[in-house]
């Protein structure tokens, strides 16, 4: 659920916990870092990921394998 506070910044409300949203650039930087780390953990380069996402079934299989390895 999203709510707007009085300072005109948006606040994320999840399970009663309020978290101030960062700037769009900060959020994008965090997202990109997360994606890069996940690809590294999967043993996949950015170029391989770009190629894999064109084949949805192959991409889903690769992600499922990675999740299976992560969960153990």
Which residues form the domain of 6?
2-71
In this predicted structure, what is the pLDDT of residue 19? Answer: 58
More confident residue, 68 or 55: 55
Over residues 1-8, the mean pLDDT reads 45
In this predicted structure, what is the pLDDT of residue 59? Answer: 85
pTM listed for this prediction: 0.52
6-42: per-residue pLDDT in tens?
Answer: 444 555 555 555 556 667 777 888 888 898 898 888 8
In the block, which residue shows the tokens 């309020």? 18
Instruction: Give the span between the Cα atoms of 33 and 70, in whole angstroms.
Output: 18
Strands 2-4 and 10-14: antiparallel
Kindly tell me the sign of the dihedral angle through the C-alpha atoms of 42, 46, 48, 51. positive
Total domain count, the chain: 1
In this predicted structure, what is the pLDDT of residue 53? Answer: 84
From 8, 4, 70, 71, select the one nearest 40 (Cα to Cα).
70
């Amino acid at each position: 659920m999203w709510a707007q506070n009085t300072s005109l910044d948006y606040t994320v409300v999840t399970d009663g916990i309020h978290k101030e949203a960062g700037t769009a650039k900060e959020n994008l930087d965090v997202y990109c870092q997360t994606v890069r780390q996940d690809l590294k953990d999967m043993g996949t380069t950015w170029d391989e990921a770009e190629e894999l996402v064109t084949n949805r079934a192959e991409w889903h299989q690769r992600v499922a394998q990675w999740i299976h390895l992560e969960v153990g």
